[in-house]
């Protein structure tokens, strides 16, 4: 049902996941100008697109869609829990894809020492925590339903 506490966690996770598309992930200072790393790719200071990162954008879209799917599949609690686990795995992969693209663009890891992180860099851990709390309460609901079925 939609009036459960896990709905609040999942709705909050969906709203926060939309922040990935709004804010930059990090800024990399270079000699000539700063490179802004977003979900769409690397942008210059003036907003000119330097490199597009379609896998990163698609992965972020899949994560947001799965959070919304988990929110509205409240009648299938087992599927909700499985979807939550998949979202957590995809969020870890999200970090890996980001680091891979940064390495492919700069060809070294020393650039990670000069990074200026933004709030978007810390959204995936917050999403993981919210999904874990939602899964905890979904699991409690499933145990409650099973215990009532045993009594019948």
pLDDT in tens, 92-151: 999 888 888 877 777 776 766 777 888 888 899 999 999 999 999 989 988 888 887 766
Residue 2, pLDDT above cutoff 70: no
Confidence category of residue 61, pLDDT binned at 50, 70, 90: very high
pLDDT at 152: 60
Least-confidence region, from 78-82, 86-90, 112-116, 148-152? 148-152
pLDDT at 87: 95
Long-range contacts of 106-109 (CB under 8 A, 24+ apart): 106/28
pLDDT at 1: 52
Residue 48 three-state SS: coil
- How far apart CA 19 and CA 118 sit, in angstroms, is 11
Residue 88, pLDDT above cutoff 80: yes
């Amino acid at each position: 049902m939609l009036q459960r506490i896990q709905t609040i966690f999942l709705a909050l996770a969906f709203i926060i996941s939309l922040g990935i598309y709004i804010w930059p992930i990090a800024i990399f200072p270079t000699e000539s100008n700063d490179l802004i790393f977003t979900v769409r790719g690397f942008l210059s200071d003036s907003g000119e697109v330097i490199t597009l990162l379609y896998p990163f954008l698609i992965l972020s879209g899949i994560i947001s869609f799965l959070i919304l799917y988990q929110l509205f599949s409240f009648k299938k609690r087992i599927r909700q829990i499985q979807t939550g686990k998949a979202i957590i795995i995809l969020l870890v992969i999200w970090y890996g894809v980001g680091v891979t693209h940064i390495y492919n663009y700069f060809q070294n890891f020393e650039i990670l020492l000069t990074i200026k992180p933004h709030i978007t860099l810390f959204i995936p851990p917050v999403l993981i925590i919210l999904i874990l709390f939602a899964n905890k309460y979904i699991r409690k609901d499933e145990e409650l339903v099973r215990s009532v079925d045993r009594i019948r």
